[in-house]
A and B are shown apart, each in its own frame.
Chain A
Amino acid sequence: MIVFNPDRCVGCYACQVACKVERGLPAGACGITVLSYESLDGGGERRVHYRALLCHHCADAPCVRICPVRAVTRDKNGIISVASEKCIGCRLCSLSCPHSIPSFNDRQQMTKCNLCIERIEAGLKPACVAGCPVAALEIEAPREISVRKRRGLLRKRCCL
């Protein structure tokens, strides 16, 4: 899965551009969306935060479950993708996804992140990860994330 690090993101939207270029997506459709929101920090200063919305490729994905024509499927690698020629554009997937990830192209067919499967097979990182100039995006398996966090915590403890 693609992990987003909000502390690193500077809001340049390079990931969105990279995604669109890689997949040739039209206006309105993108596999990753960066949202910005403001908050006040302790000293009353305004701070801008960023958050990337991207497909988690859920194990028991609501979009797969709800698709009435079985156009959204999960392959053996756990990647959830859509067969656009089967898609009727009923938008139930986008309503059932808790992060509203599925977006629609100009032919009213659902498009979504396919984890750049062709790039991964060629030994490359997904376009958004490769295109991020500040390494705010990383592709990592859940097990790796867990081990990284657990090790990091012990390291911090040992440096005290």
Chain B
Amino acid sequence: MEGTRVLYFDMERCVGCHACETACKIENNISIGPKWIEVVQHDVLKDDGTWTMKFMPMNCRHCAKAPCIPACPTGAIEQGADRVVLVNSRLCIGCAECLQACPFGAPQFGPGGLMEKCTLCAHRDPEAPTACEQFCPVGAIRSGRPQELSSQKRKQCLFIAAAGVTARSTGEA
């Protein structure tokens, strides 16, 4: 789907500052507990015997074939024409079936126990950056159409190769 926006996370850039989490919470007025976007951390043992930390922000991927939608027993989760997956809190009963179905652990549950999650800042202008993208200090979050993100990444690979730097895996697109 060409016209739809996705978020791209650059694991090589993320420094684990959690600014995206804070920005998201303020922007969407989220209560304590749920994290629509969350930076997770993993310690990796390098070949030279030292440890390094890897970070990655995780939000809702707004999947084209979202498994949460058929899992919802009340039909509360819907996908609009722009592919953004949204939940209707008036239909949600808070059963958390969506969370069990989601491979990304995206559905969050607030103090009322109903599902809430990333809306890709649906209230903002569709062309404007999302709050997490806007406030990421290292540019690890980029939003765009898959085609744009893909060509950006290809160019980046070429740049790295041309500069004689060993191209490292930057994660899958």
A adjacent to B, CB under 8 Å: yes
Interface SS of chain A: helix
Inter-subunit contact B105/A148 (CB<8 Å) = yes
Q: Is A60 an interface residue (CB 8 A)?
A: yes
With A58-B95, A60-B113: A151-B42 Cβ-Cβ less than 8 Å: yes
Q: Is B161 an interface residue (CB 8 A)?
A: no
Inter-subunit contact B169/A56 (CB<8 Å) = no
Interface centre among A3, A59, A147, A157, by most chain B C-beta atoms within 10 angstroms, is A59
Cβ of A61: which chain B residues have Cβ within 8 Å of it?
93-94
Interface SS of chain B: loop
Nearest-CB residue, chain B, relative to A4: B100
Inter-subunit contact A145/B99 (CB<8 Å) = yes
Q: From the candidates A59, A98, A149, A155, name the one contacting B104 in the complex (CB within 8 A).
A: A149
Cβ of B113: which chain A residues have Cβ within 8 Å of it?
58-60, 78
CB within 8 Å: A-B pair count: 90
Q: Is A133 an interface residue (CB 8 A)?
A: no
Interface centre among A56, A143, A149, A150, by most chain B C-beta atoms within 10 angstroms, is A150
**Distance in Å: Cβ of A142 to nearest Cβ of chain B:** 5
With A99-B73, A155-B42: A60-B100 Cβ-Cβ less than 8 Å: no
Interfacial residues, chain A to chain B (CB-CB below 8 A): 1, 3-4, 56, 58-62, 78, 98-99, 142-143, 145-151, 153-155, 157-158, 160
Q: Write 11 A-B pairs (CB below 8 A) sorted by A numbering.
A: A59-B109, A145-B99, A145-B100, A146-B99, A146-B106, A148-B105, A150-B40, A155-B42, A157-B54, A157-B172, A160-B171
